[in-house]
Structure formats: C-alpha cells, structure tokens
Amino acid sequence: MAEFPPLLSQEDMKKNKILLAYRDRCAALLVPLNECRKKNYYMPWACGHERHEYEMCEVADFQRRVKAMDKLKAEKREQAAAAAAAAAAAAAAEESK
C-alpha cells in the first residue's frame, strides 16, 4: 500500500458504528468491509478482498509507527550521548584547573 486512505471524520465513524479501538488511519477501509460482512451474513470467504486491503493498511500503519518510535529512540540515544560527552568535557576541564 503506497498511501493510507483519507481519514474519516468523527461523525462518519459514529454514523458507521466504528468502535473506538478501530478508529485509526484505516477506518475508511473498515466501513466497506463491515458492509460486505453484513451483506454476506459474515461468511468468512465472502469479503476476502476488503479484508485483505484493511489488514494490509493495518500492517503498514504498524510499520509506520514502529519506524517513528525507532527514530525517536535514536534521537534520545544521540542526545544522551551528547550530554555524556559534554559532562565528560566539563569534568576534564575542571580536572585540568
């Protein structure tokens, strides 16, 4: 999936009875999936394409969040290393006096 579907408004999510736990970037794909499920009486094989699109969106969103968290952790590690280097430099300057 190259990009995420457009975000649904809170009113649209409420109108389509999307549970709070599922109100994320992929909620726009959950609406047609739920409609297909209701139309086909929740037959497991009936809505394969819609389910696949929704699940792939969820995977892509998870990967995006993991990448963002890894970036934040790397920045925090760099800041900690810079602070440790500054503290070591300050200690060396104090020691040389």
Supply the pLDDT for residue 46.
96
Number of H helices, E strands in the chain: 3, 0
Say if 3 falls within a structural domain.
no
- Tokens 């649209």, located at residue: 12
Say if 40 falls within a structural domain.
yes
Q: How far apart are CA 80 and CA 37, in angstroms?
A: 50
pTM for the predicted model, two decimal places: 0.82
Q: If you ran DSSP here, which 8-state letter would residue 9 be given? A: P
pLDDT values of the chain reduced to their tens digit, one per residue, 97 residues: 668 999 999 999 999 999 999 999 999 999 999 999 999 999 999 999 999 999 999 999 999 999 999 999 999 999 999 999 999 999 888 888 7
Say if 1 falls within a structural domain.
no
Query: Number of folded domains in the chain?
Result: 1
Burial class of 8 by CB neighbour count within 10 A (0 to 12, 13 to 18, 19+) = buried
Q: How far apart are CA 61 and CA 32, in angstroms?
A: 19
